[in-house]
Structure 1
Amino acid sequence: MSRLSNMLRRQRFDDYRLYHQSTINQTLHLVSAVIFLGCYALLFKDAALAGIVGWLAMLTRQTGHFFFEPNGYDTVNDVSNDYKEAVKVGYNQTRKIILLLVWGSAPVALYAFPSLFGLFDPPATRLDFVHHVGMLWLAIGVSGGLARMLQLFATRDVTTGLVWVFKVLTDPFHNIALYWNSPLKLLRGELIDTAIADADWGDEEAVEAAHPT
Protein backbone atom coordinates (compact mmCIF):
# COMPACT_ATOMS: atom_id res chain seq x y z
CA MET A 1 0.00 0.00 0.00
CA SER A 2 2.89 2.37 0.68
CA ARG A 3 3.99 2.06 -2.96
CA LEU A 4 0.51 2.95 -4.18
CA SER A 5 0.17 5.89 -1.81
CA ASN A 6 3.61 7.15 -2.82
CA MET A 7 2.68 6.92 -6.49
CA LEU A 8 -0.58 8.75 -5.84
CA ARG A 9 1.23 11.47 -3.92
CA ARG A 10 3.80 11.79 -6.70
CA GLN A 11 1.13 12.12 -9.39
CA ARG A 12 -0.73 14.73 -7.36
CA PHE A 13 2.43 16.69 -6.56
CA ASP A 14 3.62 16.73 -10.17
CA ASP A 15 0.14 17.76 -11.27
CA TYR A 16 0.10 20.60 -8.75
CA ARG A 17 3.49 22.15 -9.31
CA LEU A 18 3.81 21.55 -13.05
CA TYR A 19 0.29 22.36 -14.25
CA HIS A 20 -1.42 24.53 -11.62
CA GLN A 21 0.80 27.52 -10.97
CA SER A 22 -1.81 30.15 -11.89
CA THR A 23 -4.04 31.14 -8.98
CA ILE A 24 -6.82 31.85 -11.50
CA ASN A 25 -6.49 28.28 -12.71
CA GLN A 26 -6.48 27.05 -9.13
CA THR A 27 -9.61 29.06 -8.34
CA LEU A 28 -11.38 27.67 -11.40
CA HIS A 29 -10.37 24.19 -10.25
CA LEU A 30 -11.90 24.95 -6.87
CA VAL A 31 -15.17 25.96 -8.54
CA SER A 32 -14.95 22.94 -10.82
CA ALA A 33 -14.40 20.62 -7.86
CA VAL A 34 -17.57 21.84 -6.15
CA ILE A 35 -19.52 21.34 -9.39
CA PHE A 36 -18.05 17.85 -9.77
CA LEU A 37 -19.30 16.93 -6.30
CA GLY A 38 -22.76 17.92 -7.51
CA CYS A 39 -22.21 15.67 -10.52
CA TYR A 40 -21.31 12.77 -8.23
CA ALA A 41 -24.47 13.34 -6.20
CA LEU A 42 -26.58 13.28 -9.38
CA LEU A 43 -25.02 10.18 -10.93
CA PHE A 44 -27.47 7.65 -9.51
CA LYS A 45 -30.46 9.99 -9.55
CA ASP A 46 -30.27 11.59 -13.00
CA ALA A 47 -27.37 10.31 -15.10
CA ALA A 48 -28.11 12.64 -18.02
CA LEU A 49 -28.08 15.72 -15.81
CA ALA A 50 -24.90 14.41 -14.17
CA GLY A 51 -23.32 14.26 -17.62
CA ILE A 52 -24.22 17.88 -18.32
CA VAL A 53 -23.07 19.08 -14.90
CA GLY A 54 -19.87 17.05 -15.17
CA TRP A 55 -18.94 18.68 -18.46
CA LEU A 56 -19.74 22.11 -17.02
CA ALA A 57 -17.17 21.29 -14.34
CA MET A 58 -14.72 20.04 -16.96
CA LEU A 59 -15.04 23.18 -19.09
CA THR A 60 -14.51 25.34 -16.01
CA ARG A 61 -11.20 23.70 -15.20
CA GLN A 62 -10.02 23.50 -18.79
CA THR A 63 -10.63 27.24 -19.16
CA GLY A 64 -8.00 27.67 -16.45
CA HIS A 65 -5.53 25.43 -18.23
CA PHE A 66 -5.93 26.85 -21.72
CA PHE A 67 -6.20 30.56 -20.92
CA PHE A 68 -4.49 31.25 -17.61
CA GLU A 69 -1.81 28.65 -16.95
CA PRO A 70 1.67 29.84 -18.11
CA ASN A 71 2.77 28.06 -21.28
CA GLY A 72 6.32 29.34 -21.52
CA TYR A 73 9.47 28.04 -19.89
CA ASP A 74 8.80 26.91 -16.33
CA THR A 75 11.44 28.67 -14.25
CA VAL A 76 10.06 27.25 -11.00
CA ASN A 77 10.74 23.65 -12.03
CA ASP A 78 13.40 24.47 -14.65
CA VAL A 79 11.66 22.58 -17.46
CA SER A 80 10.17 23.55 -20.81
CA ASN A 81 6.46 23.48 -21.55
CA ASP A 82 7.10 20.86 -24.23
CA TYR A 83 8.68 18.63 -21.59
CA LYS A 84 5.71 19.07 -19.27
CA GLU A 85 3.31 18.20 -22.06
CA ALA A 86 5.32 15.10 -22.94
CA VAL A 87 5.53 13.67 -19.42
CA LYS A 88 1.99 14.45 -18.26
CA VAL A 89 0.37 11.32 -16.88
CA GLY A 90 -3.17 12.41 -17.66
CA TYR A 91 -4.55 14.40 -20.56
CA ASN A 92 -2.06 16.87 -22.02
CA GLN A 93 -3.33 19.75 -24.16
CA THR A 94 -3.30 17.75 -27.39
CA ARG A 95 -5.36 14.95 -25.85
CA LYS A 96 -7.68 17.51 -24.24
CA ILE A 97 -8.33 19.21 -27.58
CA ILE A 98 -9.25 15.87 -29.15
CA LEU A 99 -11.55 15.03 -26.24
CA LEU A 100 -13.20 18.46 -26.38
CA LEU A 101 -13.76 18.11 -30.12
CA VAL A 102 -15.50 14.79 -29.52
CA TRP A 103 -17.56 16.39 -26.74
CA GLY A 104 -18.54 19.34 -28.93
CA SER A 105 -19.51 17.12 -31.84
CA ALA A 106 -21.96 15.08 -29.74
CA PRO A 107 -24.94 17.51 -29.96
CA VAL A 108 -24.28 17.97 -33.68
CA ALA A 109 -24.28 14.22 -34.23
CA LEU A 110 -27.52 13.85 -32.27
CA TYR A 111 -29.13 16.67 -34.25
CA ALA A 112 -28.13 15.05 -37.54
CA PHE A 113 -28.97 11.52 -36.39
CA PRO A 114 -31.67 11.82 -33.69
CA SER A 115 -31.58 8.14 -32.74
CA LEU A 116 -27.80 7.93 -33.17
CA PHE A 117 -28.13 4.76 -35.22
CA GLY A 118 -30.62 3.16 -32.84
CA LEU A 119 -28.87 4.03 -29.60
CA PHE A 120 -31.71 6.34 -28.51
CA ASP A 121 -35.40 6.64 -29.24
CA PRO A 122 -35.95 9.69 -31.48
CA PRO A 123 -36.56 12.68 -29.18
CA ALA A 124 -40.17 13.80 -29.02
CA THR A 125 -39.37 17.07 -27.26
CA ARG A 126 -36.42 19.39 -26.76
CA LEU A 127 -36.06 18.02 -23.25
CA ASP A 128 -35.64 14.54 -24.70
CA PHE A 129 -32.87 15.88 -26.94
CA VAL A 130 -31.12 17.49 -23.97
CA HIS A 131 -31.45 14.22 -22.06
CA HIS A 132 -29.81 12.32 -24.91
CA VAL A 133 -27.00 14.87 -25.08
CA GLY A 134 -26.40 14.48 -21.35
CA MET A 135 -26.24 10.70 -21.60
CA LEU A 136 -23.86 10.88 -24.54
CA TRP A 137 -21.65 13.41 -22.75
CA LEU A 138 -21.53 11.13 -19.72
CA ALA A 139 -20.52 8.21 -21.94
CA ILE A 140 -17.81 10.33 -23.59
CA GLY A 141 -16.41 11.34 -20.20
CA VAL A 142 -16.31 7.78 -18.90
CA SER A 143 -14.89 6.48 -22.18
CA GLY A 144 -12.21 9.17 -22.19
CA GLY A 145 -11.06 8.13 -18.74
CA LEU A 146 -11.06 4.44 -19.60
CA ALA A 147 -9.19 5.07 -22.86
CA ARG A 148 -6.41 6.96 -21.09
CA MET A 149 -6.24 4.28 -18.41
CA LEU A 150 -5.76 1.57 -21.04
CA GLN A 151 -3.17 3.72 -22.79
CA LEU A 152 -1.26 4.03 -19.52
CA PHE A 153 -1.49 0.26 -19.08
CA ALA A 154 0.24 -0.14 -22.46
CA THR A 155 2.77 2.70 -22.31
CA ARG A 156 3.70 2.59 -18.62
CA ASP A 157 2.19 -0.05 -16.35
CA VAL A 158 -1.12 -1.17 -14.89
CA THR A 159 -0.42 0.37 -11.49
CA THR A 160 0.18 3.83 -12.97
CA GLY A 161 -3.10 3.64 -14.87
CA LEU A 162 -5.12 2.51 -11.86
CA VAL A 163 -3.57 5.12 -9.58
CA TRP A 164 -4.28 7.81 -12.16
CA VAL A 165 -7.96 6.79 -12.34
CA PHE A 166 -8.21 6.91 -8.55
CA LYS A 167 -6.53 10.32 -8.58
CA VAL A 168 -8.97 11.68 -11.15
CA LEU A 169 -12.01 10.39 -9.27
CA THR A 170 -10.82 11.90 -5.99
CA ASP A 171 -9.47 15.14 -7.49
CA PRO A 172 -12.59 17.15 -6.54
CA PHE A 173 -12.02 16.42 -2.85
CA HIS A 174 -8.27 16.99 -3.10
CA ASN A 175 -8.69 20.19 -5.13
CA ILE A 176 -10.96 21.70 -2.49
CA ALA A 177 -8.43 20.89 0.23
CA LEU A 178 -5.54 22.23 -1.87
CA TYR A 179 -7.04 25.32 -3.50
CA TRP A 180 -9.55 26.60 -0.93
CA ASN A 181 -7.41 29.71 -0.34
CA SER A 182 -6.60 30.43 -3.99
CA PRO A 183 -9.40 33.04 -4.29
CA LEU A 184 -7.81 34.88 -1.36
CA LYS A 185 -4.46 34.88 -3.15
CA LEU A 186 -6.19 36.34 -6.20
CA LEU A 187 -7.72 39.10 -4.11
CA ARG A 188 -4.21 39.95 -2.90
CA GLY A 189 -3.09 40.25 -6.51
CA GLU A 190 -1.04 37.03 -6.53
CA LEU A 191 -1.50 35.64 -10.04
CA ILE A 192 1.16 32.94 -9.60
CA ASP A 193 1.31 30.62 -6.60
CA THR A 194 4.78 31.38 -5.25
CA ALA A 195 4.41 28.66 -2.61
CA ILE A 196 5.02 26.04 -5.30
CA ALA A 197 8.73 26.86 -5.35
CA ASP A 198 9.06 25.74 -1.73
CA ALA A 199 6.49 22.96 -1.82
CA ASP A 200 7.68 19.62 -0.47
CA TRP A 201 5.32 16.66 -0.33
CA GLY A 202 8.02 14.27 0.83
CA ASP A 203 8.71 12.72 -2.58
CA GLU A 204 12.14 13.26 -4.06
CA GLU A 205 11.21 11.34 -7.22
CA ALA A 206 8.44 13.73 -8.28
CA VAL A 207 9.53 15.22 -11.61
CA GLU A 208 12.29 12.70 -12.23
CA ALA A 209 9.80 9.83 -12.06
CA ALA A 210 7.86 11.00 -15.11
CA HIS A 211 8.37 9.17 -18.40
CA PRO A 212 7.60 10.52 -21.88
CA THR A 213 4.62 8.89 -23.59
Structure 2
Amino acid sequence: MTTGARVHDFFQTLQIQRDDDHRFYHHSRINQSLHLLSACTFVCSYVLLFIDPAVAALLAWTVAMVSRQAGHFFFEPKGYDHVNQATHEHKEEIKVGYNLRRKVVLMLLWVALPLLLWLEPGLFGLVEPATGVEGWLRHVGLAWLALGVAAVLMRTVHLFFLQGVMAGLAWATKILTDPFHDIKLYWKAPLALMRGELIDPMDDVQNAAR
Protein backbone atom coordinates (compact mmCIF):
# COMPACT_ATOMS: atom_id res chain seq x y z
CA MET A 1 0.00 0.00 0.00
CA THR A 2 1.36 3.42 -0.95
CA THR A 3 1.81 6.27 1.52
CA GLY A 4 -0.99 8.18 -0.20
CA ALA A 5 -3.36 5.24 0.18
CA ARG A 6 -2.47 4.90 3.88
CA VAL A 7 -3.12 8.58 4.47
CA HIS A 8 -6.45 8.30 2.64
CA ASP A 9 -7.45 5.26 4.72
CA PHE A 10 -6.45 7.04 7.91
CA PHE A 11 -8.63 10.06 7.23
CA GLN A 12 -11.47 7.81 6.09
CA THR A 13 -11.24 5.87 9.37
CA LEU A 14 -11.15 9.13 11.31
CA GLN A 15 -14.26 10.41 9.51
CA ILE A 16 -16.14 7.15 10.12
CA GLN A 17 -15.32 7.34 13.84
CA ARG A 18 -16.49 10.97 13.96
CA ASP A 19 -19.71 10.21 12.09
CA ASP A 20 -20.48 7.20 14.28
CA ASP A 21 -19.79 9.19 17.44
CA HIS A 22 -22.25 11.87 16.36
CA ARG A 23 -25.05 9.64 15.11
CA PHE A 24 -24.90 7.08 17.93
CA TYR A 25 -24.10 9.13 21.03
CA HIS A 26 -25.24 12.75 20.58
CA HIS A 27 -29.01 12.83 20.07
CA SER A 28 -29.83 15.07 23.04
CA ARG A 29 -29.69 18.81 22.37
CA ILE A 30 -28.72 19.28 26.03
CA ASN A 31 -25.86 16.85 25.56
CA GLN A 32 -24.82 18.69 22.39
CA SER A 33 -24.96 22.05 24.18
CA LEU A 34 -22.87 20.71 27.05
CA HIS A 35 -20.41 19.37 24.48
CA LEU A 36 -20.19 22.87 23.02
CA LEU A 37 -19.37 24.26 26.49
CA SER A 38 -16.88 21.45 26.99
CA ALA A 39 -15.26 22.03 23.61
CA CYS A 40 -14.79 25.77 24.19
CA THR A 41 -13.28 25.03 27.61
CA PHE A 42 -10.93 22.41 26.17
CA VAL A 43 -9.69 24.89 23.55
CA CYS A 44 -8.88 27.32 26.37
CA SER A 45 -7.13 24.48 28.21
CA TYR A 46 -5.05 23.69 25.13
CA VAL A 47 -3.77 27.28 25.12
CA LEU A 48 -3.13 27.18 28.88
CA LEU A 49 -1.06 24.00 28.48
CA PHE A 50 1.75 26.16 27.10
CA ILE A 51 1.44 28.63 29.97
CA ASP A 52 0.49 26.64 33.08
CA PRO A 53 -0.18 22.89 32.61
CA ALA A 54 -1.56 22.44 36.13
CA VAL A 55 -4.19 25.17 35.68
CA ALA A 56 -4.98 23.84 32.20
CA ALA A 57 -5.70 20.39 33.61
CA LEU A 58 -7.79 21.77 36.48
CA LEU A 59 -9.93 23.70 34.01
CA ALA A 60 -10.20 20.76 31.60
CA TRP A 61 -11.25 18.23 34.22
CA THR A 62 -13.53 20.36 36.41
CA VAL A 63 -15.41 22.16 33.63
CA ALA A 64 -14.81 20.49 30.26
CA MET A 65 -14.89 16.86 31.37
CA VAL A 66 -17.68 17.27 33.94
CA SER A 67 -19.98 19.03 31.46
CA ARG A 68 -19.10 16.56 28.70
CA GLN A 69 -19.75 13.44 30.76
CA ALA A 70 -22.85 14.89 32.44
CA GLY A 71 -24.35 15.19 28.97
CA HIS A 72 -23.74 11.51 28.29
CA PHE A 73 -24.74 10.14 31.68
CA PHE A 74 -27.82 12.25 32.46
CA PHE A 75 -29.29 13.58 29.21
CA GLU A 76 -28.48 11.22 26.35
CA PRO A 77 -31.38 8.79 25.67
CA LYS A 78 -30.72 5.21 26.77
CA GLY A 79 -33.66 3.60 24.97
CA TYR A 80 -33.92 2.10 21.52
CA ASP A 81 -32.27 4.26 18.85
CA HIS A 82 -34.77 4.39 15.97
CA VAL A 83 -32.48 6.56 13.82
CA ASN A 84 -29.76 3.90 13.75
CA GLN A 85 -31.95 0.85 14.47
CA ALA A 86 -29.81 -0.08 17.47
CA THR A 87 -30.27 -0.76 21.17
CA HIS A 88 -28.36 1.16 23.82
CA GLU A 89 -26.62 -2.08 24.83
CA HIS A 90 -25.42 -2.66 21.25
CA LYS A 91 -24.05 0.86 21.01
CA GLU A 92 -22.20 0.41 24.30
CA GLU A 93 -20.64 -2.79 22.94
CA ILE A 94 -19.38 -1.24 19.70
CA LYS A 95 -18.20 2.05 21.25
CA VAL A 96 -14.68 2.67 19.94
CA GLY A 97 -13.59 4.88 22.80
CA TYR A 98 -14.77 4.97 26.39
CA ASN A 99 -18.28 3.58 26.85
CA LEU A 100 -20.23 4.44 30.00
CA ARG A 101 -18.75 1.57 31.99
CA ARG A 102 -15.19 2.61 31.17
CA LYS A 103 -16.08 6.23 31.87
CA VAL A 104 -17.27 5.31 35.36
CA VAL A 105 -13.84 3.81 36.09
CA LEU A 106 -12.10 6.88 34.66
CA MET A 107 -14.23 9.28 36.70
CA LEU A 108 -13.66 7.26 39.87
CA LEU A 109 -9.91 7.63 39.32
CA TRP A 110 -10.46 11.34 38.73
CA VAL A 111 -12.18 11.67 42.13
CA ALA A 112 -9.68 9.42 43.88
CA LEU A 113 -6.54 11.34 42.88
CA PRO A 114 -7.31 14.54 44.89
CA LEU A 115 -8.23 12.42 47.93
CA LEU A 116 -5.02 10.43 47.60
CA LEU A 117 -2.90 13.60 47.33
CA TRP A 118 -4.69 15.06 50.37
CA LEU A 119 -4.06 11.96 52.48
CA GLU A 120 -0.58 11.28 51.04
CA PRO A 121 0.83 14.66 49.85
CA GLY A 122 4.15 13.10 48.85
CA LEU A 123 2.45 10.33 46.87
CA PHE A 124 4.54 7.71 48.68
CA GLY A 125 7.78 9.57 47.95
CA LEU A 126 7.15 10.14 44.25
CA VAL A 127 6.68 13.92 44.53
CA GLU A 128 7.69 16.74 46.84
CA PRO A 129 4.84 17.17 49.36
CA ALA A 130 2.70 20.22 48.63
CA THR A 131 2.44 23.02 51.16
CA GLY A 132 -0.94 24.69 51.47
CA VAL A 133 -4.10 24.41 49.44
CA GLU A 134 -2.58 26.10 46.38
CA GLY A 135 0.27 23.61 46.27
CA TRP A 136 -2.19 20.74 46.67
CA LEU A 137 -4.32 22.07 43.82
CA ARG A 138 -1.29 22.31 41.54
CA HIS A 139 -0.38 18.71 42.35
CA VAL A 140 -3.97 17.67 41.65
CA GLY A 141 -3.86 19.47 38.31
CA LEU A 142 -0.65 17.72 37.28
CA ALA A 143 -2.01 14.37 38.46
CA TRP A 144 -5.17 14.92 36.39
CA LEU A 145 -3.03 15.86 33.39
CA ALA A 146 -1.13 12.60 33.76
CA LEU A 147 -4.44 10.71 34.09
CA GLY A 148 -5.76 12.26 30.88
CA VAL A 149 -2.61 11.41 28.93
CA ALA A 150 -2.58 7.87 30.33
CA ALA A 151 -6.28 7.35 29.50
CA VAL A 152 -5.74 8.32 25.85
CA LEU A 153 -2.55 6.28 25.50
CA MET A 154 -4.00 3.16 27.14
CA ARG A 155 -7.13 3.10 24.98
CA THR A 156 -5.08 3.86 21.87
CA VAL A 157 -2.77 0.90 22.49
CA HIS A 158 -5.77 -1.26 23.41
CA LEU A 159 -7.33 -0.40 20.04
CA PHE A 160 -4.09 -1.41 18.31
CA PHE A 161 -4.82 -4.98 19.41
CA LEU A 162 -8.60 -4.84 18.95
CA GLN A 163 -8.95 -3.07 15.61
CA GLY A 164 -5.45 -2.33 14.32
CA VAL A 165 -2.90 0.47 14.56
CA MET A 166 -4.74 2.74 12.13
CA ALA A 167 -7.98 2.60 14.14
CA GLY A 168 -6.08 3.38 17.35
CA LEU A 169 -4.21 6.33 15.84
CA ALA A 170 -7.40 7.63 14.24
CA TRP A 171 -9.20 7.48 17.60
CA ALA A 172 -6.35 9.32 19.37
CA THR A 173 -6.47 11.98 16.67
CA LYS A 174 -10.24 12.21 17.02
CA ILE A 175 -10.02 12.68 20.79
CA LEU A 176 -7.42 15.43 20.53
CA THR A 177 -9.32 17.30 17.80
CA ASP A 178 -12.84 16.69 19.16
CA PRO A 179 -13.06 20.17 20.76
CA PHE A 180 -12.65 21.90 17.39
CA HIS A 181 -14.94 19.45 15.62
CA ASP A 182 -17.61 19.71 18.34
CA ILE A 183 -17.68 23.51 18.05
CA LYS A 184 -18.23 23.16 14.30
CA LEU A 185 -20.88 20.49 14.79
CA TYR A 186 -22.85 21.74 17.79
CA TRP A 187 -22.66 25.54 17.76
CA LYS A 188 -26.36 25.68 16.83
CA ALA A 189 -27.45 23.24 19.57
CA PRO A 190 -28.25 25.92 22.21
CA LEU A 191 -30.44 27.73 19.67
CA ALA A 192 -32.35 24.52 18.95
CA LEU A 193 -32.70 23.93 22.68
CA MET A 194 -34.15 27.42 23.19
CA ARG A 195 -36.74 26.56 20.54
CA GLY A 196 -37.80 23.62 22.71
CA GLU A 197 -36.12 20.91 20.61
CA LEU A 198 -34.79 18.40 23.15
CA ILE A 199 -33.80 15.71 20.63
CA ASP A 200 -31.90 16.25 17.39
CA PRO A 201 -34.00 14.77 14.55
CA MET A 202 -30.69 13.73 12.96
CA ASP A 203 -31.86 14.78 9.49
CA ASP A 204 -28.25 14.74 8.29
CA VAL A 205 -27.87 11.10 9.33
CA GLN A 206 -31.19 10.00 7.84
CA ASN A 207 -30.52 11.84 4.57
CA ALA A 208 -27.09 10.20 4.31
CA ALA A 209 -28.69 6.77 4.77
CA ARG A 210 -31.05 7.28 1.83
* TM-score of the alignment, normalized to the shorter chain, above 0.5: yes
**Counterparts of 1:50 and 1:137 in 2: how far apart (Å)?**
10
Q: CA deviation at 1:199?
A: 2.2
The match for 1:166 is 173
Residues 77-135 of structure 1: CA deviation (Å, up to 9, x unaligned): 11000000000111000000000000100011111111001222111111000000000
The yes-or-no answer on 1:61 pairing with 2:77 is no
The match for 1:149 among 156, 159, 169 is 156
Q: CA deviation at 1:155?
A: 1.1
The match for 1:186 is 193
The match for 2:146 is 139
Q: Which amino acid aligns with 2:124?
A: F
The match for 2:50 among 28, 44, 53 is 44
The match for 2:27 is 21
**Counterparts of 1:8 and 1:134 in 2: how far apart (Å)?**
30
- CA, structure 1 residues 38+201, in 2 after alignment: closer, same or farther (shift >3 Å)? farther
- After superposition, where does 1:63-212 map in structure 2 within 5 Å? 63-194=70-201, 196-199=202-205
**Counterparts of 2:49 and 2:103 in 1: how far apart (Å)?**
23
5+ residue gaps in structure 1? 205-213
Q: How many positions carry a matched residue from both structures?
A: 203
Q: Which amino acid aligns with 1:16?
A: H
5+ residue gaps in structure 2? 1-6
The match for 1:9 is 15
Select the structure that is richer in helix.
2
Q: Does structure 2 retain, via aligned residues, the 8 Å contact 1:114–1:123?
A: yes
The match for 1:207 is none
Residues 47-81 of structure 1: CA deviation (Å, up to 9, x unaligned): 11111111120111100000000001111111000
- CA, structure 1 residues 200+171, in 2 after alignment: closer, same or farther (shift >3 Å)? farther
**Counterparts of 1:176 and 1:119 in 2: how far apart (Å)?**
38
Moved over 2 A (4+): 197-204
Q: Does structure 2 retain, via aligned residues, the 8 Å contact 1:49–1:134?
A: yes
Q: Does structure 2 retain, via aligned residues, the 8 Å contact 1:27–1:179?
A: yes
Q: Which amino acid aligns with 1:118?
A: G
Q: Which amino acid aligns with 1:52?
A: L
Aligned-residue CA RMSD in angstroms? 1.5
Name the % identity.
Answer: 49
**Counterparts of 2:162 and 2:207 in 1: how far apart (Å)?**
26
What TM-score, normalized to structure 2?
0.93
Q: Does structure 2 retain, via aligned residues, the 8 Å contact 1:25–1:65?
A: yes
Q: Does structure 2 retain, via aligned residues, the 8 Å contact 1:149–1:161?
A: yes
**Counterparts of 2:194 and 2:209 in 1: how far apart (Å)?**
31
